[in-house]
Amino acid sequence: MTATVTCPHCGKSIKLRDRSLLGKKGKCPACSKSFLLQEPSSEEVVSLELAEDSPAVGTGARWVPDAPPPAPVPPSAPMVGGVAYIPVQTPQGVVLAPVMTGMPPFPGVGTPTIIASSPASMSPASQASAPEPEAPFAAFDFQSTTSSSSSPTTATRRPVPRRSRGKQSGLLAVIGVFAVIGVALFFMWPMLSKPVVTSKPTVNQSVATASAEPVIPGVYSREQLSTDAKLLSEFRPTQGEPIPMEMLAGANNIVIHLRPDRIWGTDRSAQEIRECLTTNVKAWLEATIQKITRRHPQQMEELWIGISAVSKVDPPQISTVFRLKQAEPRSTLIEEFNGEIISADGEPLVTRKDNLAFHIGKDSRTIAICPAELGSELVEAIAHPGDSLPDGITDLLRSSDRDRTFTVLFEVNDVGIYADQLFEPGVKTAMLKMIDWLGNDAETVSWSLNVGQILHSELRVRPKGSRSGGGRISTSATLQKDFSERFPLSIEQDLMGAVRMMQPRRSGFRQIIGRFPAMIEAFRQATVFQATPSHLAMTTVLPAKAAPNLVLGTVLTWDESTRTNFNPSVPATTIAAAPQQNLPKTVMERLKTPIEVEFALKPLEEAFLYIGEETKVNFVVDGDALKMSGYTKNMPQTFTLGKAPGSKAVHSIFTVPMQEQLCLVIDDGKMEALITTLAAAQAKGLKVVPVDSLK
């Protein structure tokens, strides 16, 4: 059966007589350049000349700074921006309605659990096998991974014939879940609905216009961070080596690297993340990982998943590599993965059992699993790791960090071209919207997320260069301009418009979903762009408490979107605010509303905006008056009150040393609270609220 590929260098269409060549590297007869053979749309038909030698690609590159960075800022409280910790009331159990037509069966997100005590220990997979709920998406079709009852096959050496690819399910489980639940922090807003023009939200512009020199020692402006790579590197939560690709077979145009112990660990932060994923999604993730690795996530230190999507007809191929926390007896592993030996003498031992190939690392901790037909490529991946990867992924891997909680790399065009094979229809729509949002100039994307003392997100986008089309040459600088313009519009028009159309049945869910656009806006404000010669980096640092809020908000908003009619003719409904008729009639009464107060280097203006959002009071910060007294809107506020009246939070800000000149002026008619200075209020004849009355 024939196939057609297109040279990415000169655009020449080439016809292959044998589809088994897909996924290998070939040489274009027109321009003589090597490229990965993948199947796009066909135009011209010419013969193909295979390349004899594949260029070696290194994977161990590591950036070393020219000089030690300046005194680092403690990672527990970086000043790049912030998002308020938004406590949520635990809604009672809820039965979710069926999803929209065409969405694959979903078990429902369930009810999030609020942790009140130390995390409960998790039972190992060997003691109790996790239940496998109905998949929210289609699961991996690794049939043999769940069957270990067959007797071991006698080890004999003989070549293995290439087999046709077995039919796998449409959506690749892990890329679907993490792309929708995790990557949605970046990509969720362009989905589902046409733009709905809304009033422009109040955002903090002072970060972008801050002076070059920080007002407070250790507090940096966005401009400083954007232009100083060494300064930005101070906020790196980990300093690991680039992610290695040893033992990962296949021409993987999607690569996932996960630290399972960061999510399935026994510490409190890990349990908070698991609970915010909700019971059903968490159970399905655990069952899926167990299915493809035969191990519970809690037993693993690292997990690699490689997805080779190279055909519009055949399903993708999935390879996995995982490293156990503790080595298992080698005799036990050999018995488990015993089978027909398909590697030659002198090569690393690769065995075949059923429709899978296996390799056990020398450390008895690292195990590789791939389709049996990729057995020879597994041998090659052990000897020459990363040789078959696309150039864009190889390039971005050099900037990756092995110690991050989660990393995904993918070729943008491939995800769009092979979406039918990668995703079920209901998810495919959102993923294609995400690809559209990335634009025509993005070639490869790498996104890493780390949850620890801080929430650290790093999105890297590699431009296409002269391959953008239309005579346009894309660079990291052009990408920065496009994304900086597209980001706020996506939140204002697409995400906020979509959320206004949602009508969750539970009041607790309504509050969380209603706050989700504000969470993403805070995420945007905390994002720093930095253009490097090879790619655009977008770095976001937030307090650790933001992680469970963002995860829970994303899960609930995504789930509610599957039941929402996004027809523009449907009148928009605001869901975030509590019933207005029950609100107090004066500003001071509203400020007595108990709110959760926990600020960690939160900018002054953002602190007041948070208090105002929680108490339904419109706070206005007089920046000019603050400047006259030597203050700025960016002055960091760090204190914790727990559950306390909003007025007490204002009092705490006013009584911070060197901030005693701040004052509050209220206007009950406009339901407005003006933050100014005593000197400015006296000059304008304004009545100042006594500080003691705010206690």
User: What is the set of domains in the chain, with CATH numbers?
Assistant: 1-53 (no CATH), 167-561 (no CATH), 580-694 (3.55.50.60)
B/e letters for 412-427, b = 16+ CB within 10 Å, e = fewer, are: bbbbebbbebbbbebb
| Structure confidence at residue 310 (pLDDT) | 84
**78 — pLDDT class (breaks 50, 70, 90):** very low
The pLDDT of 411-432, averaged and rounded, is 83
**101 — pLDDT class (breaks 50, 70, 90):** very low
CB-based contact 629:661 (threshold 8 Å): yes
Q: How far apart are CA 610 and CA 630, in angstroms?
A: 23
| Structure confidence at residue 689 (pLDDT) | 94
620 HSE (CA, 13 A, CB side): 11
> Which residue in the block uniquely carries the two structure tokens 């071991």?
152
663: left (phi over 0), alpha (psi -120 to 50) or beta: beta
Which residues lie below 8 Å from residue 261, measured CB to CB, with a gap of 6+?
270, 297, 298, 300, 301, 325
Tokens of residue 451, six digits:
């949850």
- State if pTM tops 0.85: no
Which residue type is seen at 19? Answer: R
Per DSSP, the three-state class of 414 is helix
CB-based contact 372:352 (threshold 8 Å): yes
Q: How far apart are CA 36 and CA 21, in angstroms?
A: 10
Residues 571-606: tens digit of each pLDDT: 444 444 444 557 888 999 999 999 989 888 888 988
Q: In the predicted model, is pLDDT for residue 122 greater than 70?
A: no
Per DSSP, the three-state class of 229 is helix
Q: How far apart are CA 563 and CA 99, in angstroms?
A: 5
Which of 394, 408, 535 is CA-nearest to residue 475? 535
Q: How far apart are CA 417 and CA 411, in angstroms?
A: 10
The pLDDT of 605-615, averaged and rounded, is 90
Tokens of residue 340, six digits:
């027909």
Q: How far apart are CA 400 and CA 409, in angstroms?
A: 10
Q: In the predicted model, is pLDDT for residue 87 greater than 80?
A: no
Tokens of residue 536, six digits:
């655009």
| Structure confidence at residue 256 (pLDDT) | 94
**47 — pLDDT class (breaks 50, 70, 90):** very low
Whole-number average pLDDT of the chain: 73
